[in-house]
Structure 1
């Protein structure tokens, strides 16, 4: 009997990595051929034990300590690599982490490196939006991965559906109307992703279609939805609560002030404003079509309506 292919999942206790573990180990056919090694800083914590309960091996490593990564990827066939810019709020730290994972994987002879990437907004916008650091740094890591020659595919997660219910889409004063308030027009298309539910579906498709996806970008979103469409579908699902639901285009400074009141520093407010402007002015994916990315999938993606039905913020609505 052939040995199982080992896929190492960085950030295995996080949203993206956790979704990858669940998708592989939740598929009996794939579980028969693949073994999952989840990387986390502390293998004794409950989230790591939960991975083991799913059937994953866990191993301790720290993205800020390159020496620990070698053991994590030893003997691996594939690697899913992801970083969290917001943990350090430093593009330099994120790029160092991403390069360290790529270097360790290259040295270990990994056959398929899947990098959770994003577009370079400064380049896409020709300098008009130069402060979306959490996109640009991931794009620069993608450039580095390509330069190493390691066989790789680039997964670009869409806009997190989880950012909306109870967050950007919430009851707002003075009348407590459900309001989707963002600093962009209601006609802006947004590529939505159920990150926890569907990241793993894309990565599973990438791993199962290695030859087809090597060197490619896979755009991780169910579909493009305009803000107006999101609210219209909310009204269909919850006619009573949705009677007065609406989109509101916030002035840029108002959006930044709201973020400031929630504890975000001024530079993060500007970064997130430019991130929103990206979708309206240049396209989150630069206008890319999703059809080719969807062609690698074997699982159905979560629609916005399906996600709303399970959103805690909407649980008491009728």
Structure 2
């Protein structure tokens, strides 16, 4: 009998990638029945998912609804999104993570795969405190590790998908390097590895990315994709901040400053990414291959 794998945030980039990978994998699709959890079961994305998996309504801000959605689940893949417009975005997102983890334990879920990120605050010894989405997920990971539930951690790099929506400016000089991942196309390859051998990865953090890319390499790949001359240009922190909405300025200035000083995953970033790439089930997409499938457009 198939076990139930619940995917929280199943209509998003991470969740949809996990759902698609598991249901298409010849081995995992026989072992797991996928339950896609989403806030809006009537959205177009949710309706499309109904052709592939069980779709149920669930929201971490509604504890009772979440508990119901997790009934009978063996393994949960969980991710959270940043909380903006509040006094303490770190604590606000952490409370969401805590609710998910607590309900998972209460429902008797046996294994939790949590999508985490490194703590910029801790790795920088308090130098960079503005990257709440990273710090909240790192705090969530620490909390999960104290609970009576088996767990492992999917710590993804920067999404290749972000090139369609984020400006490629940075406040620090090269050689900044970014670990890049095709979140939709490849994310499931690491989660699938955990599902296949949960004992092997229990307690481990997989720093998921194809490889490290310098910003100059990224610019060159975007140039090839667009047929236009895309260059990496260093700007001051002030100029960079002024190019962003106020709610994002401090976050991204600290984010790129942290990466420049400490590396995306902190000490040993390159080695962590190299190890993680070897754990994926299947070939990973390079940035160039991703851009061939999803051409970058400059308006």
Q: Structure 2 length as normaliser, TM-score?
A: 0.92
Q: Indicate which of 235, 247, 254 corresponds to 1:274.
A: 254
Q: CA deviation at 1:161?
A: 1.4
Which is higher, the Rg of structure 1 or of structure 2? 1
For residues 230 and 120 of structure 2, the distance between their equivalents in structure 1, rounded to whole angstroms, comes to 32
Aligned positions of 1:283-298 closer than 5 A? 283-286=263-266, 287-288=268-269, 289=271, 290-298=273-281
Alpha-carbon separation, structure 1, partners of 2:123 and 2:202: 23
Tell me how far 1:135 sits from its aligned partner.
Answer: 0.6
Structure-1 separation of matches of 2:85 and 2:38: 17
Partner Cα separation in structure 2 for residue 299 and residue 65 of structure 1: 37
Is 1:184 equivalent to 2:172 in the alignment? yes
| Residue matched to 2:93 | 94
Matched, 1:117 2:121: no
Contact 1:165 1:311 (8 Å CA) reproduced: no
- Aligned partner of 1:127 in structure 2 is 126
Shift of the alpha carbon at 1:164?
A: 2.3
Partner of 1:142: 141
Q: Is the 8 A contact 1:278 1:284 kept in 2?
A: yes
Residue 276 to residue 315, structure 1, CA distance change in 2 (3 Å) = closer
Aligned length in residues: 294
In 2: Cα distance, 1:315 partner to 1:272 partner: 22
**Cα shift readout 1:253-299 (whole Å, capped 9, x = no counterpart):** 1111110xxxx22x521111111112111011113322332233212
Q: Structure 2 residue aligned with 1:64, among 61, 66, 76?
A: 61
Deviations 1:4-43, CA, capped at 9 Å, x for gaps: 0110000001111111101101213211111000111122
Query: Residues 94-129 of structure 1: CA distance to partner in whole angstroms, max 9, x if unpaired?
Result: 111111111111122222100110111111001110
Using the TM superposition, give the Cα deviation of residue 136 of structure 1 relative to its aligned residue in structure 2, in angstroms: 0.6
Partners of 2:230 and 2:13 in 1: CA distance = 29
Q: In 2 relative to 1, CA 49–93 (structure 1 residues): closer, same or farther, beyond 3 Å?
A: same
Q: Could you give the per-residue CA deviations for residues 183-208 of structure 1, whole angstroms, max 9, x where no partner exists?
A: 12232111011112121221111111
2:17 matches 1:19: yes
- Partners in 1 of 2:294 and 2:45 — Cα distance? 22
Cα RMSD between the aligned structures? 1.9
Q: Give the SS at the match of 2:195.
A: helix
Provide closer, same or farther for how the CA distance between residues 280 and 303 of structure 1 changes in structure 2, counting only shifts above 3 A: same
Give the direction of change, closer, same or farther, for the CA distance of 1:256–1:203 in structure 2 (3 Å limit). Answer: same
- Give the distance between the partners of 1:314 and 1:142, measured in 2 at CA: 36
Specify the alignment match of 1:174 in structure 2: none
Contact 1:309/1:315, CA 8 A, preserved across alignment: no
- In the aligned structure 2, how far is the partner of 1:86 from the partner of 1:198? 26
Q: Which residue of 2 aligns with 1:32?
A: 30
Q: Tell me by how many angstroms 1:305 deviates.
A: 0.4
Is residue 256 from structure 1 mapped to residue 241 from structure 2 by the alignment?
yes
**1:76 paired residue number:** 73
Are the equivalent residues in 2 in contact too, given 1:166–1:313 (CA < 8 A)? Answer: no
**Residue 2 of structure 2 is aligned to residue 7 of structure 1:** no
Deviations 1:158-216 (A, max 9, x none): 111122246324xxxxxxxxxxx321223211101111212122111111121111001
Q: Can you give the 5+ residue segments of structure 1 that lack an aligned partner in the other structure?
A: 170-180
